Amino acid sequence: MTEIPDTDPHDLFALWYELASANEPADPNAFTLATQDQDGMPDARILLFKGFAKEGLTFYTNSHSTKGKQIANQPVAAAVVHWKSILRQVRLRGPVVQVSDSEADMYFQSRARNSQLGAWASDQSHGIESRDQLEAKYHDIEKYFGDGPIPRPPHWTGFRIEPVVIEFWKNGPFRLHHRRRFYKNDQMGWASEVLSP
């Protein structure tokens, strides 16, 4: 198995993602997002990313959620994308920025109508009395908007991890896996090094 090439990490991610999309049985865009609370305690959950470009990895969520508050308090994060079907993973970390309102609006309008209603109904990460209460709120909101357009809730937005480190991992024989770490080299672009497994 050839080693991971020293190339543009964004292009390499796109190549691996294309391969994963053809092989992964469900959600090739699933990733683990790690943040930390105000006491420095780590927190992690699995989300779906909605874009990976030169600027970074983009995902959308409720800014009032636990992760939204953690990002507001400490705007850094780490992420892991693991594709079991092709025995590869990508790790990245860096600062987190909020996307523009226009970008969030555009993505929100691309979502299924039921998902748009759900974004209004859910006070994500907050306690509720019962599931029935949540579903009743959903139906109330559904009646309120009727057949009209559903605007993006002000608390629903997108975030982008702007990576300063990206590591690619590929399974190898005898646990001699392939690893290459890319890191931002000031204003000169990306540098990389091969890592021992």
Flag whether 129 is in a domain: no
Residue 14's domain is classified under what CATH number? 2.30.110.10
Give the burial string for 139-169 (b: 16+ CB within 10 Å, else e): eebbeeeeeeebebbeebbbbbbbbeebbbb
Flag whether 159 is in a domain: yes
Q: Pick the closest to residue 139 from 123, 121, 126, 122 (CA basis).
A: 121
Collapsing DSSP to helix, strand or coil, 197 comes out as coil
| 197 residues of the chain, pLDDT tens digit each | 578 999 999 999 999 999 999 999 899 999 999 999 999 999 999 999 999 999 999 999 999 999 999 999 999 999 999 999 999 999 999 999 999 999 999 999 999 999 999 999 988 878 888 899 989 999 999 999 999 999 999 999 999 999 999 999 999 989 899 999 999 987 778 999 999 99
Q: Which residues are catalytic?
A: 175
Measure the CA–CA gap between 144 and 108, rounded to whole angstroms: 18
Measure the CA–CA gap between 154 and 63, rounded to whole angstroms: 9
Q: What pLDDT is attached to residue 1?
A: 56
Flag whether 94 is in a domain: yes
Flag whether 91 is in a domain: yes
Q: How many domains does the chain have?
A: 1
Q: What pLDDT is attached to residue 18?
A: 97
Flag whether 53 is in a domain: yes
Flag whether 62 is in a domain: yes
Give the burial string for 51-63 (b: 16+ CB within 10 Å, else e): bbeeebbbbbbbb
Flag whether 161 is in a domain: yes
Flag whether 51 is in a domain: yes
Bridge partner list, 183: 165, 191
Range of the domain at 107: 9-115+154-195
